[in-house]
Every structure is written in C-alpha cells, then in structure tokens.
Structure 1
Amino acid sequence: MFTVLANHSYRQLFLAQIVALLGTGLATVALSLLAYDLADDHAGMVIGTALTIKMLAYVFIAPLASALFRALSRRKLLVTLDLIRASVAVFLPFVSEVWHVYILIFILQSASACFTPLFQATIPDILENEEQYTQALSLSRLAYDLENLISPALAALMLTLMTWQGLFTGTVIGFIASALLILSVTFPIMKAANKNRSGIYQKTTRGIRFYLATPRLRGLLAMNVAVTCAGAMVIVNSVVIVQSTFGLSAQDTALAFTFFGGGSMFAALTMPCLLKRMQDRTLMLGATLLLILGLFSASRISHIIELWTIWFLLGAGYAWIQTPSGRLLTRSSHEEDRPDLFAAQFSLSHACWLFAYPLAGWLGVKLGVSLTFSVFGMVALLAFLLALKLWPAEDPEVVEHYHANFPENHPHIAHSKRLHSHPFVIDDLHEKWPRKSN
C-alpha cells in the first residue's frame, strides 16, 4: 500500500491531507470548549447547530463551487481555500457571541466544501494507474481514521501546556502547512471543459445530473444511505448505550469509538488486496450486508464486548463502501468532468447525513435506541435491495450505443457509425445510459 508514496506529487498531497486533518481535529475539540465557554449548559445546542450548518454548507456549496470555480487553477484555488480556513481559525478564539461562531463556522465549512471534492478529484489525475489509485484511497481512509485517534490525544497534550484558545493555533498551522505542501506540487494540466453550457443552474446541477444518470453511481447513492444509517447510530447513540444503558464511563465511550475506527482501519488496510480478487460491486454490496447485520445485531446488545465486536464490524463495512467510491467516480467521468462528479458525491452523501443525524437522535429518544437500530436496519436493507436493482451485475466499461439525433457530419460519429462502442460515461454527448436492447 505504501509504495504509492514514492510518487512525489501524491506524497506531498497526502502530507497536506494529514496536516489539514490534524488541524481540523484540533478545531473540533476547541470548538466544543468554545461552545461551553459561551453557552455553558446549552453548549450541546451550539455544537448541534454548528454541525447542521456544516452539513448544509456541504450539501449546497459543493456543487455551486464546482460550477463557479472549474475554470480556475486547481493549485491556486486549493491554496486559497486553505488560507481562508486558516484565517477563520485565527478569529475563532476571539468571538464573544454564539452567532459569531455560526457565521465563522459557515465560512470555514463552505471553504471545506469547495476544497475537499476538488482535492479528491485531483488524486486520480496524478495517479493514473488504478492499482496506485486504490492504494491512495486506502491511505486516505487510514489518514481519516488515525486523525480520529491522534487529534484528541494531541489536543489533550496541548491543553496541559496552554488554554483551549491555543488549540486554534494548531489549526492555523495545519492549514498553512497544507497550503505550502500543495504549492510544492506540479498539477497535471486539466483538459478544457466544454464552454457551450447554459446558465448557472445547469452548471450547478451538472455533476448531480451526470451522477444520477449513471447506474453504478445510483447504486452507490443507495449504499450511502446504508452507510449513514450505521454511522449516525454509532456517532449519536454510542454514549447513550455505554453510559446510560451499561452505566459505564466516558472513557468506555471513547473506547467504543476506537473499535469503530479500528474496523475502518482494518478495511482500509485490506481493501487493495480484496479489490484484486473481486469487483467493486461485490465488495461494496457485501459490506452493505455487513452493515445490515450489524444494525440488527446492535438492537439486542447486552454487554460491552458485544458492542465492541459490532462496532468493529460496522466500521469495516463503513470503510469498504466509502473507500472504493473514488474508483467508481473516476471510472464514470472524463477528466474535465471529474470535479463535478466528486462534488455531486460530496453533496449527495452529506445530504444523507443531514437526515440521518437528527433521526438517529430523535427516534432514539422517542422509540428507544434498540428499536431505532431495527428501524435503521430496515432502511439499510431497503437501500441494499435498491442498490442491487440500480447497479446491474453486468457493468462493462465499453458500451455499445446508438446516436439517433446526431446529424451525419457530427464530429462524434464522423469516423464511426451511429451504432458504435467506446468507454461510456455520461457527458454532454451521452446524456442517458443506453438500454440493453441498444
């Protein structure tokens, strides 16, 4: 897996991802402490609102940014977004009102909603070899999981030397270091996008339209629903099970999250080997079944060891679906359209989280956590059946199709027939997936 780090450009971008993640992790801890300082007993409401603002920015800003900024230099744009995030982190320690926090969080998360899909879409342009790109996806997943373990520990260490305001200094340093590392990379020249497009609405929805017209990506969206069912229940209700049901401590809650992260890390480490032996669809559908099994099993948890086991399995299933998604997006797009598709995946997947988070909490209170696990298990089962239908087992890269409405002199069919075959993706010339009869 680590041989991909021999590529200088990717290595610099991977390091940029790590330092930015550490900065974000420190900001998460610092934001909790800031909320408590400003709102005391109502800190949970402040944090919940901030998370909602984050999700709204992710859902709506990502596709809009992809439409507005696609013609700009990717390197300059990524560096600018890192500097914007660093600037927001500079101001956060000095806020005195809760509404200040909300405004700054919206700016910070809007910059992240612009940054993350563009950064993700750049990696397959640098690593054109699919095996190397698969390794990079696994490393990226590993980085996210390690950040969840390292950032809280680093924050605890820093708090022995400084006040919570000092944690934002680490955030600023992380984003600036990320910007400097990105500046050291020579980005491949991106193919020019088609300029003959209509207004801002068409440009903004372009990635989502292409995404929803691609069968394998419709299947991915269905599996994203299962992912959020499992992830939201773990994130929202772990503390309820561990501390209210079992009567254990906050340390035990942290340990439960560690098992979930451990499962995700296990999946990331094993994924390159698994994808040499099976298709993406097989692995991802199998992982969805694992999530369904875990959700139904969680409704009957009676001991902390059972919880650790189930959380590990849920973490593995979560990552076996999330991590290969970049391969599907790359396979389903031309280079010049890739940022639009990654932005669509970013937006649509976070829309699932936007519903799953509050439902996991609200249903957990109204129905009880055990019954809520069963409800979410049923939703995940429906998502699995939908994914089976939407993503056919026969999913070739080269597809025979027919252009009925093209004039005889159209460039696309000038050197071939109306009925022809080539690697097929949804684009301006192919707006619908061909039926099997074609």
Structure 2
Amino acid sequence: MLGVLSNRTYRHLFLAQVVALIGTGLATVALGLLAFDLAGENAGAVLGTALAIKMVAYVAVAPVAAAFAERLPRRAMLVSLDIVRAAVALLLPFVTEIWQVYVLIFVLQSASAGFTPTFQATIPDVLPDEREYTRALSLSRLAYDLESLVSPVLAAALLTVISFHNLFAGTVVGFLVSSALVVSVVLPSPKASAPRGIYDRTTRGIRIYLATPRLRGLFAINTAVAAAGALVIVNTVVYVQAVFGLDQSETALALAAFGGGSMLVALVLPRLLDSVSDRAAMLAGASVLAAATFAAAAVPSYGWLLLLWFVIGAGYSMSQTPSGRLLRRSSRAEDRPALFAAQFALSHGCWLVTYALAGWAAAAFGLQATALILAAIAASAVAAAAWLWPAADPEIVEHSHDGLPVSHPHWAEGSVAGRNSHAHAFVIDDLHGTWPHAR
C-alpha cells in the first residue's frame, strides 16, 4: 500500500492531509474546552449547535464552492482555503461570546467544505491508475482513523504543559504546513469543457450524481453508513457511562475499537478490491452495519459492546472507502470537483439527519428503540442500494444519440456497436443526459 507514496505529488498531498487532520483534531479538543469555559454546564448545547452549523455549512457551501473550483487553479484555491482556516483558528482563542464561536465555526467549516472535495477530486488526476488510486483511498481512510486516535492523546499530553487556548496554535501550524506542502507540487487543473452559468455550475454535480445509477446506490449506502455511525458517535458515552456505569477511559476505548475495525479493513481492502467488485464489497459492508446496529439494541455487556463497535467500524470502512472509485469512474476530469462536492454535501446531509435522530430518539425513547430505528433505516438503505445500483454495471455502455449529426466528432469515440449507436466509457455529461436503460 505504501508504494503509492513514491509518487512525489501524491506524497506531498497525503502529508498535507495528515498534518491538517491532526491540527483539526487538536481544534476539536480545544473547542470542547472553550465551550465549557464560556458556557459551563451548557457546553453540550454549544457543541451540539456548532456541530449542526458544521453540517449545514458542508451541505450548503460545497456545491457553491465546486462551481468556483472549476474556474480557479486548484493549487491556488487549496492554499487560499488553508490560509482562511488558519486565520480562523488563530482567532478562536480570543473569543469571549458564544455567538462568536458560531460565526467562526461557520467560516472555518465553509472553508473546509470548499477544500475537501477539491482536494479529493485532485487525487484521481494525480493517480490515474485505478490500483494506485484504490491504495490512496485506503491510506486516506487510515489517516482519518489514526487522527481520531492520535489527536486526543497528543492534546492530552500538550495540556499537561500548556493551556487549552494554545492548542489552537497547533491547528494554525497544521493548516500552514498543509498549504506549504500543496504549494510545493504542481497540480492538474482540468478546464471546463464549456462556459456555464452559475446555476448550471452549482447544480451540475448533484445532477450528474442523481442521474448515475451506481451513485444513486452510493447515496443509499451513505444513508446506511450515517445511521450506524451516528449511533456510535452520538451514543457511545451513553452506553458506556449510563448503561454500564463505567468512566471516560472506557468510553475512549470503545471509540478506539470502532476506529480499530475501520483501520483493519482499510489495510486489507485494496487487495480485496482486486478480486471483488465495488458493489459487492460496499453492499456487504453496509449489510454488516445494519445487522450490527440491530444487535446494539440488546448488547449485554461492555465487552460485547467493544466487539460490536469493532464490527461496525469494519463495515463502515468497507462501505465508505471505495466511494472515490465510483465518483472517479462516473465523471470526466473537468466535472470531478462538482461530483465530489455533491458526494460531500449529500453524505453530510445524511449525517445531519441521523446525528439529530440518534440524540433525540435516545433522549425520548431510550437506546434500545434508537438502535432499532437506526437499524431499520440502515437495512432499508441497503435494500434501496441493491435495487438502485444494478448488478450489471459495466464501464463501457452501448448507447445511441438521436439527433446527433453523423459528422459530429463524438461518433469517433469508442467502437461502433450498430446503426446510430456506439460504445465507450459512459458518464453523464453534455452529450449524455440520461443513463441508457435507466430504471
């Protein structure tokens, strides 16, 4: 897997991702302490609102940012957004009012909503070989999982010698180092194939997404992932400390079990995907998520919870990691920023709903009912994914172009399949507005 780091451009981008993630992890810890400093016992409400603001920014801003990403040099855009994020982190230690936290979080997460999809859309152009790109996706998944383990430990160590306000300095450094690493390489910036209006550019990614059968299936899988993931992220502390009567260290261990399952699958997935289709792997992972979430309704002990969270982590990684391959396969290079932004916005829309549901249902009906509700959502989503994403999903598709002049150069693409039809790698674009034989 590590062989992909021999590509200098990707190596620098991967390191930029790692240092930015660590900086973000330090900010997450510091933000919790800042909320308590400002709001005391109401810190949970402050953090909950900040999380909701984050998700709203992700859903609303990503498609708009993608519309501009199509017109701007990628390197300049990524560096500018890193600098914006560093500036916000620099201001956070000086806030004195809760509303100021909300404003800065919105700006910070809006910058992230522009940065992350653009960054993700760049990797397929840097690594055009699918095997190498698959390994890059697994490395990215490992980076996210390691950050969730390393950042809290690093923050705890730093807090023994500095105040929590200084943790934000680590975030600033992370974003600045990230921007320096991006500056150090030349990034491909595909040009748009034709001038487009702002509405067309803003909605283009979502229109391509919803017109592609495999991506409609991906949206359903995103729903299953969010349903199971929300149970873990929102309610682990309730399971561990309220149900089993344990303390914070056991809560951290339970979350580490979830991360451990995800990391293990991320390590073995590239080899697995050499022989198993994306559809089979992702549906299997989502099915595991649904079954394990259902089992969480009757988890008998803390030991079983650790095992169950490990299994959910494994299903989470198997369901999530290959998604970049689907997006790459379903778009032309110039449309990738818009399509990755659509995935970013739609998947976080799922999280926005399931986060709220996991917290509200647990308070109103208890953990058992919450697990059953989320399991039902996940199972329904798996069934929808299997229906929406056809088992026969070839990359090269025969299709016709009624009304396209025979002199049009597009007819030279692919191979002639019959009268008024040809076959080539099919994606939704200006010449292909609907999927052939779409159901």
TM range (shorter): over 0.9
Q: Kindly state the Cα deviation for residue 436 of structure 1 after the two structures are TM-superposed.
A: 7.1
Residue identity opposite 1:193 in structure 2: A
Residue identity opposite 2:4 in structure 1: V
Query: Is residue 430 from structure 1 mapped to residue 432 from structure 2 by the alignment?
Result: yes
The answer for the alignment partner of 1:322 in structure 2 is: 320
Cα pair 1:292 1:377 within 8 Å, conserved: yes
Residue identity opposite 2:193 in structure 1: N
Cα pair 2:297 2:368 within 8 Å, conserved: yes
Alpha-carbon distance between aligned partners in 1 of 2:164 and 2:43, rounded to the nearest angstrom: 15
SS at match of 1:422: strand
Aligned residues: 435
Residue identity opposite 1:105 in structure 2: I
The answer for the alignment partner of 1:81 in structure 2 is: 81
Residue identity opposite 1:433 in structure 2: W
The answer for the alignment partner of 1:209 in structure 2 is: 207
Counterpart among 350, 355, 358 of residue 357 in structure 1: 355
Alpha-carbon distance between aligned partners in 2 of 1:414 and 1:166, rounded to the nearest angstrom: 61
Alpha-carbon distance between aligned partners in 1 of 2:156 and 2:374, rounded to the nearest angstrom: 34
The answer for the alignment partner of 2:301 in structure 1 is: 303
The answer for the alignment partner of 1:138 in structure 2 is: 138
Q: Kindly state the Cα deviation for residue 292 of structure 1 after the two structures are TM-superposed.
A: 1.1
Residue identity opposite 1:75 in structure 2: R
Q: Kindly state the Cα deviation for residue 409 of structure 1 after the two structures are TM-superposed.
A: 3.5
Alpha-carbon distance between aligned partners in 1 of 2:234 and 2:366, rounded to the nearest angstrom: 13
The answer for the alignment partner of 1:11 in structure 2 is: 11
CA deviations 1:282-333 (Å, max 9, x no partner) are 1001111101110111111010111011100000100111110000000001
Q: Kindly state the Cα deviation for residue 413 of structure 1 after the two structures are TM-superposed.
A: 3.0
Query: Is residue 404 from structure 1 mapped to residue 402 from structure 2 by the alignment?
Result: yes
Superposed counterparts of 1:35-434, under 5 Å: 35-188=35-188, 190-197=189-196, 199-413=197-411, 418-434=420-436
Cα pair 1:85 1:108 within 8 Å, conserved: yes
SS at match of 1:327: helix
Q: Percent identity?
A: 58
Q: Kindly state the Cα deviation for residue 69 of structure 1 after the two structures are TM-superposed.
A: 3.0
Alpha-carbon distance between aligned partners in 2 of 1:418 and 1:76, rounded to the nearest angstrom: 44
SS at match of 1:399: strand
Residue identity opposite 2:211 in structure 1: A
Alpha-carbon distance between aligned partners in 2 of 1:185 and 1:69, rounded to the nearest angstrom: 18
Q: Kindly state the Cα deviation for residue 194 of structure 1 after the two structures are TM-superposed.
A: 2.4
Residue identity opposite 2:61 in structure 1: I
Alpha-carbon distance between aligned partners in 2 of 1:292 and 1:36, rounded to the nearest angstrom: 35
* Unaligned segments of structure 1, at least 5 residues: none
Alpha-carbon distance between aligned partners in 2 of 1:270 and 1:47, rounded to the nearest angstrom: 35
What's the C-alpha RMSD, in Å, of the aligned pairs?
1.3
What TM-score results when the alignment is normalised by the length of structure 1?
0.97
CA deviations 1:55-102 (Å, max 9, x no partner) are 001001000011123111100110110010000011100011111111
CA deviations 1:148-177 (Å, max 9, x no partner) are 000001111111111111000000000000
- Alpha-carbon spacing, 1:247–1:436, altered in 2? closer, same or farther (3 Å): closer
Alpha-carbon distance between aligned partners in 1 of 2:274 and 2:193, rounded to the nearest angstrom: 35
Alpha-carbon distance between aligned partners in 2 of 1:305 and 1:206, rounded to the nearest angstrom: 47
Cα pair 1:246 1:303 within 8 Å, conserved: yes
Cα pair 1:26 1:170 within 8 Å, conserved: yes
Q: Kindly state the Cα deviation for residue 414 of structure 1 after the two structures are TM-superposed.
A: 6.6
SS at match of 2:274: helix
SS at match of 1:330: helix
SS at match of 2:410: coil
What TM-score results when the alignment is normalised by the length of structure 2?
0.97
Cα pair 2:213 2:438 within 8 Å, conserved: no
- Alpha-carbon spacing, 1:387–1:246, altered in 2? closer, same or farther (3 Å): same
CA deviations 1:150-207 (Å, max 9, x no partner) are 000111111111111100000000000000001111113x33212242x322211100
SS at match of 2:103: helix
Cα pair 2:149 2:256 within 8 Å, conserved: yes
Residue identity opposite 1:14 in structure 2: F
CA deviations 1:394-423 (Å, max 9, x no partner) are 000110001113234433237866311111
Alpha-carbon distance between aligned partners in 1 of 2:119 and 2:305, rounded to the nearest angstrom: 35
